[in-house]
Chain A
Amino acid sequence: MDSRRASRMVIDPKPKVRQVGFFTPGAPPERTKSSPAESLSSPPTSDMSPAGNSLSPVMIPPPRHASDNLSSSLGLNSSRVLPVPVPMSPIRRPSTGDNLNLPLGSYNPSESLLGTSLSPSSGFDDEGLSEDTSTSGWFVRGNPGKVASSFPSGGFDTTAMKSRNIPVVSNLTTVSHLLTKRKKGGIAEKGGTLVEVQHEQVRDSKLKEKTSKAERRALQEAQRSAKAASRAEGSKTAATSGGVTAANAKPAKAKASQKKEGSSVASSDRKGPEKDRKKDVPHPRMQFDDKQRVEKAKRRAVVKQTEARNRVELFRHLPQYEHGTQLPDLESRFFQLEPMHPSVYKVGLQYLSGDTSGSNARCIAMLQAFKEAIKDYTTPPEKALGRDLTAKISSYVSFLIECRPLSISMGYAIRFLKNRIAKLPLTFSETEAKATLCSDIDRFINEKIILADKAIVKHAVTKIRDGDVLLIYGSSCVIEMILLHAHELGRQFRVVVVDSRPKLEGKALLRRLVSKGLCCTYTHINALSYIMHEVTLVFLGASSVLCNGTVYSRVGTACVAMVAHAFRLPVLICCEAYKFHERVQLDSICSNELGDPDVIAKVPGREDVDHLENWANNENLQLLNLMYDVTPSDYVSMIITDYGMIPPTSVPVIVREYRREHLWM
């Protein structure tokens, strides 16, 4: 009974929050509003207050406000911010809102999101959390903003919000955070999250130095209460789960020091071990504004990488190299790179030169190359096939990454292959093992890509009716297959191919479509709003679909989806399920790929239009050629995948239910 009420309370605000969220084009962004108005208009806070009754009201606002402040600054550059409007104290805002947190902004999310995305998301479900909140009242009270804000936007947003909130919450409720984890996810997940929490604390301590006295005091108060709550909780869980004492001990110790010296000292106290931990954990994605690491990586690198000059400041964490120099250098050392298998080398060259692009094609090319490599592989004496081959594959992968950053879908394929290698029975002979792996790879390509595409085509064709005008953007092979299939079925429809510079991928697609007898219109993305009037349906491809329903795709897709949304047109995303990813990404900044800036500076075929000649010599000019962008799930009507047509909110279900068992079978 109690639980029902609690969960209800949380779920209730859902529609309202949706309305005021940042996605909806009509609604004004809360950020610009003054804080009193916000607190008035925000339903969740009013909902929260009864729950937080037993607490003194002083404790609640600071952490919540700080966390939201942080996340809003993170989201500054994206359309997506926490959907919950939060009261902000007027004193705090100017000091921390932008100037303090911004430098972290481009840096934070990828780490926190990547690090946690795997562990919590896998074992996380809505009921678990809601029950939790109900049974342990302190949790709700300890970080009410978190729970309230995370729920409305669907189950999977919770992970993102959670990890985001950690920076502030962790100081006070480290234990509670871990405890809830432990209850739900099990002990195995603890390691990753613990480190994550500590990660955030380092940054947090920075943040803290600038907080006002009142703020610190409020923090302290909140911590004390949280500690009291966790003590009661801790005694309970200690009985149930035995293996958690180590984790318990650490926060407890930290708590003790907190008590003595206050929060700021405590956090500085913890810095030492945190750093050590940090080293142990491999970075999920390298941050290229970290000079030391970049230097280190360069020394290992096979491909000569000259860092491009004039990089855009906001995207410094992404790799960008002088594009002209890499290919000739790699080519000239063709024979020196002995350990690289020729087929892998070839694929790398094709990535680097852009001969192979598109995530399906790249993934297939990579897998085929690995298959060739496995066929030619012989286990060196005194080594186990499982280990040595995994190391080999890893070296191939790092070579391919140097040629071009992996697409998200390829990560899944690599994980699959490594997993298959690891799961090989020890009794297998080498030839048996190789044959198994090769057939596994073939099966992966067949099931996950080719058959998946067929399934998608079958589903999608049902959505095309006579008289439709379909708008497509860029060049996606699935969409091409859909169109051709619909044409074969005799549907009468027209296609609008929208294209964009610099790649002009649509041209090749257009050529193929026209040659098959389809009626097409070709336009550039500039004319999108004009052409959208006549369109009835929008089909888009995707490089990946992330767990919060965000579509990660060729740059420009978000724009197309947004305009279509404004015209109230259905936007259908066609994406194979193997491209779904556990990650949650709210903006296209933290993880993206930078293309060759020279390409946008030049106009193909027009040598005379060369106004940006020698642009690299001008310090004031930075060109940005982004490869991908992120389409928020609000603009997506439906995702067509091999398991059927699903709403964007169901992506996590696919990831959880279908993918894991495939990976671990």
Chain B
Amino acid sequence: MDFQVVVLAGGTSKELVPLVSKEVPKALLPIANRPVLSYILELLEASNLKDLIVVVEGEEAAVRVGGWITGAYVDRLHVEVARVPEDVGTAGALRAVAHHLTASDILVVSGDLVCDVPPGAVAAAHRRHDAVVTALLCAVPVSGPSETGASGGKDKAKKPGRYNIIGLDPTTQFLLYIATGAEVEKDIRFQKSILRAVGQMEIRADLMDAHLYAFKRSVLQEVLDQKDTFNSIKQDVLPYLVRTQLRSELSSNGMSQAEENWNGKVASQDNQALSSQQLPPGMIPTVPSFHELYAFCPNGSSPPKRTHKCCVYIASKGKYCARLNSIQAFSDINRDVIGEASHLSGYSFSAHNNIIHPSAELGSKTTVGPQCMLGEGSQLGDKCSVKRSVIGRHCRIGSNVKVVNSVIMNHVAIADGCSIQGSVVCSNVQLQERVVLKDCQVGAGYVVTAGSEYKGESLARKEKSQS
């Protein structure tokens, strides 16, 4: 179908700091004991997109991600890993691989996306409207832990403020305005010209940009070339394209776009008598978008204005769509993938609605509740209780340990009498006796001394990172 896929796997995100480290870049953070990148790769694979470019920030991260992909997808996908320096931003990452892009349309996917929206749907909407860019929008996920963990993450969930303001046309097919939460201060400015052309704008705050875009390659390359300062797709490229949709400055696309209503690039390719002048305006689609109305209508004397279309595909309500861009999101996604969006995990659930690896060992009177996962070779002592949590591989957990609403990664040693609630415990952490953690993040390799209690803190090995 003439699409190329670029997966932006990122590097070591600052927002996820205690969780990510040099050893575990963001793309490899485990969601239900699988790297988060595997979710998007498998989604693409299911859509028959097997030729991928994965862009990773930072050398070490690139090596690790590349190594993991080779191991996991050796026969299934054809993946090329591109390494870009850190802090170039998403636009910079695309710029770096721009010369590899040849297909007419490019699908740009963020590597931290966990969703089950078929990318084909986005691509189809893109093709149908012959759009310059099509963005996948999805409902903002319900943040914060669900009912049982009433105490967990209150402070984080209560932080509103990060609204995305998205303006759509009445048919909810075109994007008229987009601003991310960070940019929205007090007032937002809309363009009169767009409002006038459309007549009616629907402003939504309940939608989120899922970071899955289909771009027209020529446009993408042109924008990246011309606008050196553009750093991020979401904050620079997309708003720029949306802003200029009625006064397109895109030379490679602009002219043909006006004619591409239905007759493609005929005029430019053939010298035959099929140029736009000869085609009567009545022959444009009988349900024209406002772009065509705008371009053709005014007085007829002026040449058609150059416009381009920015489309959206809004995921339906039943679809799951989330991005791993905060610690909160990390625990949410872990919970959801084991819980309500369990079809994403690819595991088969037991009768108790949980997954316990056959090699895991459970002590007597230990209960593992529904929506839990126990990785390979993990051991639990007596009288333990695990609820709504994910426990990684080869963990050694003592007796009388409570794990609720938490994520425990691989090779974690937890001594007797610990209580862990709403926390994330990274690999190789040691928790000594009677440690109580509530809403904490424990960085890799950290040792929590016996009897200590933490609440809402982020624990990491300071000396290691400084040295």
Contact = CB atoms under 8 A, between A and B. Distances in A.
B272 interface: yes
B128 A353 contact: yes
A480 B262 contact: no
Interface stretch (A357-365, A519-527, A646-654): A357-365
A-side interface mostly? helix
A331 B136 CA distance: 13
B279 A346 contact: no
A515 B299 contact: yes
Contact of B287 (A331, A333, A334, A357): A357
B120 A331 contact: yes
Contact of B121 (A332, A356, A476, A516): A332
B-side interface mostly? loop
Contacts of A331: 118, 120-121, 124-125
B282 A481 contact: yes
Contacts of A261: none
B285 A357 contact: yes
Interface residues of A, number: 47
B52 to A, nearest CB: 13
B272 A334 contact: no
A393 interface: no
A446 B283 CA distance: 13
Contact of B280 (A336, A343, A445, A477): A477
Contacts of A627: none
B282 A356 contact: no
Contacts of A450: 273-274, 278-279
A360 B48 CA distance: 35
A508 B286 contact: yes
A516 B127 CA distance: 32
Interface in A345-377: 345-346, 349-350, 353-358, 360-361, 364-365, 368, 372
Nearest to A352: B128
A229 interface: no
A355 B282 contact: no
A372 B260 CA distance: 13
B263 A345 contact: no
Interface string B1-39: 111000000000000000000000000000000000000
A334 B3 CA distance: 11
Contact of A453 (B272, B273, B280): B280
Interface size class of B (residues with CB under 8 A): 35 or more
B300 interface: yes
B264 A343 contact: yes
B254 interface: no
A511 interface: yes
B283 A361 contact: yes
A372 B282 contact: no
B300 A364 contact: no
A331 B270 CA distance: 31
B263 A335 contact: no
A335 B120 contact: yes
Contact of A512 (B49, B130, B270, B281): B281
Interface in A460-496: 475-478, 480-481, 484
A661 B3 CA distance: 43
Contacts of B120: 331-336
Nearest to B313: A331
A505 B286 contact: yes
Contacts of A330: 124
Interface of B: 1-3, 47-49, 118-121, 123-125, 127-130, 262-264, 266, 270, 272-274, 278-288, 293, 296-300, 316
Interface of A: 328, 330-336, 338, 342-343, 345-346, 349-350, 353-358, 360-361, 364-365, 368, 372, 439, 442, 445-446, 450, 453, 475-478, 480-481, 484, 505, 508-509, 511-512, 515-516
30 contacts: A331-B118, A331-B121, A331-B125, A332-B118, A332-B120, A332-B121, A332-B124, A333-B118, A334-B1, A334-B47, A334-B121, A334-B124, A335-B49, A335-B119, A346-B128, A346-B130, A357-B287, A358-B286, A361-B284, A361-B286, A368-B262, A368-B264, A442-B272, A450-B274, A480-B280, A480-B281, A508-B286, A508-B288, A508-B293, A515-B300
Given A338-B1, A361-B286, 9 more contacts: A334-B118, A334-B119, A336-B47, A349-B127, A368-B264, A480-B282, A481-B280, A512-B282, A512-B297
- The 7 residue pairs across chains A and B that have the minimum distance between CB atoms: A334-B120, A477-B282, A331-B124, A332-B118, A480-B282, A334-B124, A331-B121
